[in-house]
A and B are shown apart, each in its own frame.
Chain A
């Protein structure tokens, strides 16, 4: 179980450009929950994920995973619990290393790294089996540099790598936004498949309301650094796009007109 208690995050605190990106988020995430997160630009979605991963330090509040307050932990230490897929398909993998080298790095996520060979012969069979799941033929390209792959292929690989060592929490920040629609659908199918098979606790940020409704067991809407909607299970299943939109109008009034959420 993950408890987020009154999380507050400022940027440029006490400066002229002070922004409060998270203004007191309270959230309890049960093991195995698949949560979709929506909200307008600047709502604080990425900031929330970055604070959980430790990329940013929050200013107030606590993050408790399995009873442990991990607030003071640096990003690399939290990585033991957290798998991530980024919006930019280039961020999750190393271009100059091969597919198998990238996977071997992910295979030791959170573990000590020593002087034994990075890519062990015993790993290869498992890597090939996993890669075959993608249906992209990558299982025959273990020794290709990842820089040779397309954005979609790299994102698929990142998705696989994030779940190679089972994470307590999987963070997906608009991980299909930079892909063409067909590839995006493939990555989403893969996401659904991996998350349900491994029962991963997941936070998935998306700008697509249909996706947010179709995926997961719980839906959060963020606005101005606050959770303004939190629906689960049956209630979520009965939710429609119109419900979301009207909720949105309620909160924002006219300012929503120019928002790109309306377009999707």
Chain B
């Protein structure tokens, strides 16, 4: 059973006190310029998911506490939470650097730019 810490209100609870929100950092392409979104981009947004064996970045909601969404970095093999961070933030730099596979590709230019979401 996972023990989760809310990044917003600091509450601690088991996984049933929280709601899992799936992969983090998915931007809706149609928000900026709906007319130019290709079918493949829309597929990526709706269905393609990073599915790493290891470090993953995801969303959680503090269901029975403050009700707010936040981000977490968690290992999908050891189940260990590496960090939690705000819903509009990027993960701590060290974790972005530790990311592998699709996440490493995703964080590459973010690392170059600095750490705003």
A binds B: no
